[in-house]
Structure formats: C-alpha cells, structure tokens
Structure 1
Amino acid sequence: MVKTELLSVEGLRLTVAHSQMNVVKGISFTVAPGEIVGIVGESGSGKTLAARAVMGLEPPAIRRTGGTIRFEGKDIAQLSPGELRKLRGARVGMVFQEPMTSLNPSMLIGRQLDEGLALHRKLSPEERRTLILDMLRRVGLKDPEGALQSYPHQFSGGMRQRIMLASVMLLQPALLIADEPTTALDALVQRDVLELMVELTRARGTAVLMISHDLAMVARYTDRIIVMQKGEIIEEGVTQDLLREPKDPYTRKLLTAMPHRLPARSITEAAGPIVEVRNLVVDYGGRQGFLRKEPGKRVLHGINLSIRPREVVALVGGSGSGKTTLGRAIAGLLNPTGGEIRFAGRSIVPGSEGWNDYRLDCQMVFQDPYSSLDPRMTIGALIREALRLVPTMRSREKTERVREILNEVGLSDAYVERYPHELSGGQRQRVAIARAVVRRPAFVIADEPVSALDVTVRAQVLDLFADLQERHGFSCLFISHDLGVVEQVADRVVVMQDGRIAEEGTRDAVFDAPQHPYTKRLLSAIPILVRTEQDGVRLRWRDEEASPEHGAETPRPEAYAALGRG
C-alpha cells in the first residue's frame, strides 16, 4: 500500500534578502506518515534552513522566493499567523541542536512543559500535570516530581535533551524535525536519546525529518537519506542502498571523510613523562541556600595519569564522568582539592616558582571556538595575544610568527584583519588551534575540538592537528566523546566513569579487547561503517563476529530491535 504524503516540498528556493544569493536552490522532497528521513551534508549546505522553512521559521534575513511547502495538503505560505501558531508544536514539532538555548533558563521545567499543552490542548491543569509526569517517566527521568520544580541548568546535556524531546512529544505531532539532536552527547546518551525518539515516534505514528552530519547515526535510524550540497539535493534514496552504492562523487567524499583507524605510531621511550597526575582529587562546593548549605560533590576520585613526550592520550567517557574537569585541573583553570600535578619532573603548584612557565607551556583548545575567541579582536590580535608574555620575541618576530602559523593551519595572511564572526566554524577552530600552538608549547589539552564540525571539516581539522603535532612534537590530552575520532588520533586511551579511571591502555588494546564492562558498553553503543566494493559503506556493530552478508545476524540494542527496524 502506497503511503500518502504528510509533507511535500516542491521547488523550494530560499534567498538572502540583501544580497539576493540563493542558499536553497529549488529542492523537492517528501516525507510519508511514520517515515524517518535523514538530511545530510556539510555546514552551509542548506539542510537546516530547508527544515526550518517547513515551520515558517526562516531567519529574518532569508526570504522564500520560490516553491511550495505542503503539510497535510495545506500550503504553509497561505496560512495566517494564527494558523501557523496552531501548526507549530501541535502538528509539527522541532528538537533543536542545543537544548540549553531552546529551554528557557529562567523558567521551571514544569512550567515550560505545561505551556505547550495549555496552548494547544483543552485539558485541565490536573490532566496536564498527569500527562507531563507520565512523559517525564517515559523519557527516563528518575524523579519527575522533582524535575517539575527544577531549572534547565540543573540537568546534564543528555537529560536536557530528553526534557526537550518530552516537551515536543507531549503534543503528539504528526511530524518531528530533529536538528542535530545529539551532537554534544556522549555515545551512550546519544544512543538512549535516539532510541527513545524512535520509540516515541513509532508508538504515535510520527514521521521524523532528521538533520545530521553523523552518517553512522543516520545509517542506523533512517529509512531514506537526502544528500545536500550548496543548497541543492544531489542524491537521495533508501538509506541502505544509497550508503552501500553511492552514485554522486560528493556522497562518496562524505563517506571517505568518516574517521578511520590509522596504523599505530611508534613513540620513543623518554626518561620520564612530560605530564604526570598523582592521586588528583577535585571537589565542587555545595550551594549556599537560605537556611542551609547543600553538600559538595567529589568529581575526581584520586586520578593517576601520565603522558609521555609526543604522545596523544585520549580521555573518553560519558557526560559527567569528569573528563573536562580533569583537563581543566591539569591546565590550571581550577584548583584541585588534593593530589599533585607534575610537569617535566617538577611539581606544579599555583603561585610557585615555574608556575607561569608551565601555564605558558600548557595550552588549551576549547570545544566552542566562537565563545573562546573575543569577538572584538581581529584574528591576528587573537593569535598574537598568546605571544604577549614571550620577552625574547620582538614585535616584528611576533608578526611573522602569526603569519607563519596562519599558513600552517591552512589560512592565509588575509585572515589577519578579519573577525571571528566572519569565519566559518571550521575556520574558527583552525584559529583556536593556531592560538594554542603558536608559542610552540610542550603540552596541549584539546577539549572536544571537533564535536561541532561536519564530516569533511572535521576530517580536515583532524589531519591538521595530526600534522601540527608531528611537526612541533607537543604531547596532547585529547578529550572527546566521539569514539570514531579517538580511534583515529589516539596513541593511548583512558576511559573515565564517575570520576575514576575505569580502563586504560593502547588504542588497539582498548578498542579491540576492552576489559571493563563500562568500556564494552561504550563501544557497543556506536556502529561502524565498513567500506564496500562500490565506494560505499554498510553498517556493522563492533561486537559483530561476522558480517550479515556472510550469514551472521547483526546485533542490535534491545529497545531498537523491539521496533522491528534494523
């Protein structure tokens, strides 16, 4: 039986008003009831703009200059503002990339969840509360009653995304638009959130339009894929068939850019580690309430870690495991409660002799370059600032070093006078890396440096980082939740859980023969895209003994298998 079209987009054209530049160029696609369709492509391909246009949420500078969008047979452009308000949320819901920006930080969770129900459904306050509590239980919150009286900042990223999903699914929309719903989540939380989303939408017959640059995720959860490039649809088809045998060179380029394991490097044994952490403890103090002080929380429980010269050590684990806290403590950005940090054999204590030299010799690349780069400073000034406390360099030498590092990271001298907002995400991350290595540090901490980048830009930045690390010989603590990236860059892997080291070893030992149950769970949460003879890929699980093509059944998570998809 042929499904009727829930959403039909025909010849959609979106244009930047002031420049008349077309950013979406006459694309057409459909979504049937209950169908899960993925849209993939690089940043700037127009996939998010096209999805937002379905709800009439184009940015003010964007104008629709052609085409039609029909939802349940109605032309979106012909709807009045009141009809559009009834459509948004009630019939078409949207889960945004970062829930902290879409949840109101000043409103209690209960009030935010109640707002949509009160607007779109004729229910009593008691009925709305019952529905909200039931939905919060379904999305995995252990204390729904307490959640109603909490604020968004009191939850982890994964919990906030679950709450955002609950707020959308409470209204039982016919179409759910998920815009990069799991970019900032670790592997286990990402799997839980996505399988929850699929379970909820399947139970209610909701269609899903999933926008993502994570091809493994799209391969796992979608029925069809649409590939976009520079505002155009260049290829579409059934997910399994398109990935197995892509027709367009651009699709093959996207698949080639996926992280892959490189041969293990040989690192010469040195006299001692460049960085050593001994029994490191970090406590976060409790908040002072009106009548009492809440107890503090121990975040790191006696961490021991060493990093050799020229070695790349990857730190992995779930959200809240203490990865970033450990990185910031080593960088001197927060004071440990106990333990010792040693650099080149010397104990490092804030304010002691050698502390300033250590802070200059230990640099950090942050996750979001846009928030870590001063928007009022030019790119040249931002990079030059890292050389401000180098007394042996003259002004001309600093200028030459800035131009040299810009060329090393693939940016020309023309970027010296530009500002961060004039650069793409990938270019800003190159600037952040340039600022970290311009002083030729001995040790670099990279905290989720590529999590927000699309597939091809991520591959370029990873290649750049590896080239700079090989050229300048700095050691690196690479913090990431993306195990595919870790598999490509790491010499050694340290797995953290609840503020403790669960397992550590060489990359090949940890990925090929994990010993700790938590490590096994992490690795089992992510699928692998295996190359095919047709320059495509197929989906395989890490614990799969033989490929499905040779008679083995592909292992699937229990919740996902229950949905009858695979």
Structure 2
Amino acid sequence: MTTDPVCPLVDVRELSLGIGTTGRLVVDRVSFQVHPGEIVAVVGESGSGKTIAARALLGLTHPAIRRRNGSVQIDGRDLDSLSPRELRAMRGARVGMVFQEPMTSLNPSMTIGRQLEEALALHSGLGGTERRTAILSMLARVGLDNPERVLHAWPHEFSGGMRQRIMLAAVMLPRPSLLVADEPTTALDAMVQRDVLELMVSLTAEHGTAVLMISHDLAMVARYSHRVIVMCRGEIVEQGPTQQILRAPAHAYTRTLLGAMPRRRLVPAVDQAAAPLVEVRGLVVDFGARVGLFRRGMAKRALHGIDLAIRPREVVAVVGGSGSGKTTLGRVIARLLKPSAGQLLFDGQPVDEARGAVWNDYRRNCQMVFQDPYSSLDPRMTVGQGIGEALYGCGLDRAAVRNRVLEMLEEVGLEAAYANRYPHELSGGQRQRVAIARAVVRRPRLVIADEPVSALDTTVRAQILDLFAELQSRHGFACLFISHDLAVVEQLANRVIVMDQGQIVEQGPRDRIFDHPAAPYTRRLLQAIPALEPTPTGGVRLRWRHEALHDHAVRQARA
C-alpha cells in the first residue's frame, strides 16, 4: 500500500448535507481522507448517513439533499469548481461505483458487451478493436467463462455473483483512481462473497485504485480494509486503523455495533427420539428450461432425492451456495411449489394429495417468513389488516381478531399504533417484525424462514434474531431456517443441513458441523468467511475457521 499523507486522493472536510436548505442534517461535519491504494471501510446502521456521504463524492445525492457546509476534493479539485460536463467526465474515468444490487444498475435492455463498451467509449481514446480486446481481457480476468459469449448475453442470464463480476469489470475498465463499493456483497452467499471481494481487492491493487467500501459486514471489513470509519446519525464517531478500532473500540457506539455480531449460543435441547413433525422422502424437483415462447428444453433438476426430518421445537438450518436448492426445498415444504417426485408428511400423514381437514390443518400450521418483507406484505393493507388476515377462518370474531393482532404486535416489540400504519411507513426492521408477527399469530407448529435477516444491518439483525429465538422458545414452533449467513446459523440452529447442487452433502448437530466438518464442500463454505471473536477490551479479533487450512488467506489479511 502506498500512502502520501500530504496528497490524499480524497479529502472531505466538515461536510454537512441536509434536506433542502432548512431541513434536518443527514450528514453532519464529516471529515475523512482516502489515499492512493488504500481500502477504507465505512460502517454504521441504516440511516447513519454512510451511503449519502459516499455518493456525495460523485455528486450523486438526491436533488433534495443540499450541501450546507464543507468541501469535497478529489485529486486536489473541489467538486464545486467542476462544471456538469467535467463532473460527468470524472465519473467513471476517475471515480467508479459498484452498487449493492447489480441487476438494477445493469441495463436490462442492453447486452453486456454494449454496456461495457459504452464505458470505454466515454472514458478512453481507444478504437473499436482495442476496446473489444480490452473488454474480452477484463471479462476473462474477472473469471467469466467464454467471454465472447458473454458479450452477446443479457444481464438476466447471469447469477447475482456473475452480475457483480460484470459490474466490477465495467467499473475497472477505465482504470479509475477511486472505487466506491456500496454493500457490494450483501445478497451473495459465502463463497461468492469471498470470490467477489478477493477479485475487487486484486483488481484495485493491480491498478493502484483506492477503495471506499460501505458495509455492515464487520467480518469483511476486518478482513479487507486498512482503515475504518464508524458513522452514527450522520456523524463520524470514530475512525482509525481497522485492527486497532476493532480490537479496542474507544466509542460506546462502536462497542454496541461489535456486540451485536451473531455468536454461538446455547440452544434448547431437542428430543431426537421424538417422531418427526415434518418429513420429506425422496424429494425431487425439476424445472423445465425454456428455449422458445411455447417450447421447453431439457428439464433442470433442482433437488435430487432429498430426505429430511424436522422434529417438534427443532431449528434446522439449511446452508449452501446460490443455486444449491435450499430456497426450493423451503418452498416445496411450504407447498408453494409442487415437487416432481417424493413425499411430504406432516405428523405422519401424507400432505401431497391431501384435501379437506388434513390439508387445512397443514396450511394453518405451516407459515413462511420471506427474505424481503416489503414485497410479501400487501401495500394496500394496514399492518393490523395484514396480520389479522392470517386469522381468517379460525373461528374468532372481529374483536377477538383485533385483540390477537394487538397482542402479537406487543410480542414483536411494536406499539398498538402500528396497527394503523402501512408497510411503506415502516423501516426494514419494523417490516420484518410485522412479517414474523403475521407468520406466528396463528400459533403454527412449523415456521419456514427464508433469509429473514440478510438485508438488515448489524444491530437490527441482532434484535430480530433475539426476537425470533424468544418467540420460538415461547410458542414452541419448529423452524426450517434458510440462510447464507453462517454466523446467524451458528447462533440459532440445533441442526445444520449443507446443500450443494440440489443434494445434501452433510448434516448433523450444529457444533459438529461447525467444529468438525466432514465434507470438503462444508469445509470450503466455512473457510470462505472469517469469524470475529470477542477480545477482553470490548472489541473483536479476526479469526479464520480452521485456520490451519487457510494459511494463504491469513497471509493476505496481514499484508
């Protein structure tokens, strides 16, 4: 790393941003620097101002957000001194940005080749042949097979990890001096997260590019950043070398942030001799591959003969990479997908072709919490109506339904007044509390939770996990918990199932899976993401799981 304390690449001084000219401040007197070749992480809860402060470096803040005070300099030039044309020329050429969701930042109406060439045509003097050569070289560099085919493909044809690699290629082609990465791996599974971040670090190191990384994943921050900036309510409360801040945080907010990291806890014992509540036998799911408007090609097998049993009060976690089949398994058990073969039993009774009382009993006792509560809650219904809808057909009159809804809101930590609000009036954490309340209000015996905390920041995630564990203990429902966040699984699960390419490669008690994994795939999964363990000073230290097998990553982390 090369740093010159005299000439920073980015110099932000006393920056204050507010809503309009008289509204509240969203960024208050923020000052920081980024030097060439340096990786600086910005952490904090949702609403802390970290994304707005980073977007200010590119002049990409919302029109309603006005600068009240301070300055932003890049390469010694104040942004206020740049004309709109000069500002557009700076974006991409000198400063590039990788957004959180690549599907929304890639143009769905343009092929990958056209989008990549557009960046080079705007920000380089290369001719058509030279641009094509550079694009093919970069696509190969980011690990995409058959770059020629990729040029003619569309964004929807790639997985989330592949799309993020394409975004990195697009941003790095003009060789910017600064890369702003806004939550670049939030929705990706463990191994894809590692691959994308390793690629980002490698590409920026080759070109001497500085990185400003916005993240709520403190393990990734500890692994990849040189310095960290901690923001709270629009202010910087602490900044300094990453290892120093994480090992011995000086500010109470930083200690709260680190204390909210998921950690292994004791979980209630489950009677393994009890009869299974839910059981699947030989479960197979095939998806037809579309090759035309009316024709289908060869079917793709998503699940290969899955056998699984969930006992009463047991939390069974399903982990694996994207495309491993874990969400498909959850949706089949919830009867949102019909299996191609196999059998589903509830309390020993087959559910597949069930009708009447057996089917109604299963629907009442199997509920699901989805990854994105905003898309699963009806925007036209108030919170009270949405939760109360789950009680239809249970024999309660209107007053009893209202009382049960208010009781459920209290259980999930929301006041009775929230019953009259609509989903768009709530924060992400509040919407997830409502989604959990809706799933639990009918006192089901099985809850399927599909990535219920992946989009939440550290402290809100901790609150939701504590709430979920409390409700599970109080009401005694079993749970199929689907997640790519291994730290969350380690905190909650009784038993862990590891899936890869539609098959179960390993399963067993949580402690055995995490401490003594048997399958090579499980070991690779656990090694992909570092863990943070507490220090006596109230901080954390970086620790790789099974460190003896991860010498290469440890050496890189210390470099």
Deviation at 1:61, TM superposition (A): 2.3
**Aligned-partner Cα distance in 2 for 1:488–1:109:** 40
2:135 equivalent to 1:93: no
CA contact (8 A) 2:97 2:182 kept: yes
CA distance in 2, matches of 1:288, 1:88: 39
Choose which of 253, 274, 296 in structure 1 pairs with 2:256.
Answer: 253
Name the CA distance, whole Å, in 2 between partners of 1:557 and 1:452: 30
- Structure 1 residue 527: deviation in Å? 1.1
User: In the TM superposition, what is the alpha-carbon distance from 1:295 to its structure 2 partner?
Assistant: 1.8
Report how far residue 350 of structure 1 moved: 5.0
Q: Match for 1:303: what amino acid?
A: I
Which position in structure 1 is the counterpart of 2:487?
484
Structure 1 position 212 matched with structure 2 position 215: yes
- Once residues 354 and 522 of structure 2 are traced to their aligned partners in structure 1, the CA distance between those partners, rounded to angstroms, is 38
- For residue 129 of structure 2, give the secondary structure of its aligned residue in structure 1: helix
Contact 2:4–2:35, Cα closer than 8 Å, also in 1: no
Q: Could you give the per-residue CA deviations for residues 194-248 of structure 1, whole angstroms, max 9, x where no partner exists?
A: 0000000000000000000010100000000000000000001101111111100
Bigger drift between 108-117 and 480-489 goes to 108-117
Alignment of 1:157-168 (within 5 A): 157-168=160-171
Alignment match, 2:524: 521
Q: Is 10-19 or 437-446 further displaced after alignment?
A: 10-19
Select the residue among 462, 469, 489 that pairs with 1:466.
Answer: 469
CA distance in 2, matches of 1:325, 1:356: 22
Give the one of 130, 135, 138 matched to 2:138.
Answer: 135
Once the 2 structures are TM-superposed, how far is the Cα of residue 289 of structure 1 from its aligned partner? Answer: 1.8
Would the aligned equivalents of 1:332 and 1:350 in 2 still touch at CA under 8 Å? Answer: no
Mapped to 1, the partners of 2:284 and 2:34 lie a distance apart of 52
The residue aligned with 1:406 is: 409
Indicate which of 362, 366, 369 corresponds to 1:362.
Answer: 366
- Counterpart secondary structure, 1:309: coil
SS in 1 for 2:547: coil
- Higher mean alpha-carbon deviation, 66-75 vs 289-298, is at 289-298
Query: Counterparts in 2 of 1:41-56, with a 5 A limit?
Result: 41-56=44-59
Please list, as runs of the form range in 1=range in 2, the aligned pairs for 1:53-452 lying within 5 A after superposition. 53-269=56-272, 271-289=274-292, 293-350=296-353, 352-353=355-356, 354-390=358-394, 392-452=395-455
Task: Provide the rounded CA distance (Å) in 2 between the counterparts of 1:290 and 1:540.
Answer: 51
| SS of structure 2 residue aligned to 1:89 | helix
Which of residues 495, 501, 504 is equivalent to 1:501?
504
Moved more, 13-22 or 445-454: 13-22
Q: Deviations over 1:501-545 (max 9, x none)?
A: 000000001001000000000111111212112111111111136
* Aligned residues of 2:21 and 2:66 also touching (Cα < 8 A): no
- Secondary structure, in 3 states, of the residue corresponding to 2:420? coil
- 2:280 corresponds to which letter in structure 1? V
Whether contact under 8 Å (1:14, 1:64) holds in the other structure is yes
Give the match's secondary structure for 1:265: coil
What amino acid is aligned across from residue 301 of structure 2 in structure 1?
Answer: R
Give ranges in structure 1 of 5+ residues lacking alignment.
546-553
| Per-residue CA distance 1:111-137 (angstroms, 9 max, x = gap) | 111111111112222211111111111
Secondary structure class of the residue paired with 2:212 = strand
For 2:388, the aligned partner's letter is R
- Report the Cα distance in structure 1 between the residues aligned to 2:22 and 2:389, rounded to whole angstroms: 35
Shift in Å, 1:148: 1.5
How far did 1:276 drift? Answer: 0.4
List per-residue Cα deviations over 1:437-495 (Å, max 9, x = no partner): 11111100000000011111000000000000001111000000000000000000000
Residues 222-231 or 289-298, more deviating? 289-298
Q: Which moved more, 1:264-273 or 1:454-463?
A: 264-273
1:81 Cα deviation (Å)?
1.1
Q: Is 1:2 matched up with 2:4?
A: yes
Q: Is this contact kept in 1: 2:119–2:174, CA < 8 A?
A: yes
Determine the C-alpha separation between the residues in 2 that align with 1:304 and 1:564: 40
**Coordinate RMSD, CA, aligned:** 1.6
Separation in 1, partners of 2:228, 2:531: 18
How many angstroms apart in 2 are the aligned matches of 1:79 and 1:213?
Answer: 32
CA distance in 2, matches of 1:494, 1:314: 6
Say which SS state the counterpart of residue 92 (structure 2) adopts. coil
Secondary structure, counterpart of 1:69 in structure 2: strand
**Pairing partner for 1:26 from 19, 29, 37:** 29
1:530 is aligned, of 530, 533, 541, to 533
CA distance in 2, matches of 1:221, 1:197: 10
- Contact 1:278-1:303 at 8 Å conserved across structures: yes
Q: CA offset at residue 292 of structure 1?
A: 6.2
Deviates more, 1:149-158 or 1:264-273: 264-273
Mapped partners of 1:179, 1:233: distance in 2: 18
Please tell me whether the aligned partners of residues 316 and 323 of structure 1 are also in contact (alpha carbons under 8 angstroms).
yes
Aligned position for 1:550: none
Over 3 Å off, 4+ runs: 290-293, 554-558, 563-566
Change (3 A) 1:186 1:290: closer
Q: Which moved more, 1:488-497 or 1:55-64?
A: 55-64
2:94 touches 2:176 (CA, 8 Å); kept in 1? yes
Q: Secondary structure at the match of 2:115?
A: helix
TM (norm. structure 2) is 0.97
TM-score, structure 1 length as denominator? 0.95
Q: Structure 2 counterpart of 1:95, which letter?
A: V
Over 3 Å counting, the alpha-carbon distance change for 1:126 and 1:458 in structure 2 is same
Is the partner of 1:539 in helix, strand or coil?
A: strand
Contact 2:527-2:550 within 8 A present in 1 as well: no
Structure 2's unaligned 5+ residue stretches are none
Q: Rate the CA distance shift 1:89–1:283 in 2: closer, same or farther, 3 A.
A: same
Moved more, 188-197 or 118-127: 118-127
